[in-house]
Amino acid sequence: MKEMFRIHDKKCEKVTEKVRAGLGQRFLSLSLLAYDMVGLTLSPESLLETAEYLRDTPGLEFQFLSCLSGVDRQDRLEVVYHLHSLTAGVSLQLTVSLPNDRPEVDSVTSIWPGANWYEREAYDMYGIVFRGHPNLTRILTDDEFVGHPLRKSYWTEGGLV
């Protein structure tokens, strides 16, 4: 079992070195989250350039987006992308923080087409706007629904805000 962790540590180490070398100062933090998962935090402005780098760079090739989620941290919103590289044998969690009052970030559907419905869900539930999305409409609630039900500010003890 210890040998398996060493193998994954080395794989993650190679990925972090390549990310650090290729992105320079464009990321806010880079860390090991689990034995086979690297964590990368970015500013919204560097998302598309970084996503293309992660997908297209030999040895990284994060070509599979398995999940995209909105997160409400009360003082800010986050978009969390879970990426996988079958080539490197490593997963990567990419996080972008957004202000509550204007949660906007570029869509990654041009890079990972599977992001389409995930981005629509984050828009519907959290109000996160994905600039350049091909069809940014509600996906879970009715078109006449008011607000975004997974925002912590949406609910209070007495009901709706």
Answer whether residue 156 shows pLDDT above 70.
no
d(CA 103, CA 99): 5
Answer whether residue 1 shows pLDDT above 80.
no
Average pLDDT of the residues in 1-7: 41
Looking at residue 133, its pLDDT comes to 98
Looking at residue 82, its pLDDT comes to 98
Helical segments of 88-149, H only: 115-126
pLDDT > 70: percent of the chain: 91
Average pLDDT of the residues in 129-147: 94
Are the C-beta atoms of 104 and 129 separated by less than 8 Å? yes
Average pLDDT, the chain: 90
Residue 20 half-sphere exposure, CB side, CA atoms within 13 Å?
12
CATH architecture, domain defined by 2-115: 2-Layer Sandwich (3.30)
Structure tokens at 52: 């293309």
pLDDT band at residue 6, thresholds of 50, 70 and 90? very low
Three-state secondary structure call for residue 12: helix
Answer whether residue 161 shows pLDDT above 60.
no
Are the C-beta atoms of 96 and 106 separated by less than 8 Å? no
pLDDT band at residue 160, thresholds of 50, 70 and 90? low
**9: which residues sit within 8 A by CB, 6+ positions away?**
32, 35
Task: List, for residues 10-68, the tens digit of each pLDDT value.
Answer: 888 999 999 999 998 889 999 988 878 999 999 999 999 999 999 999 999 999 999 99
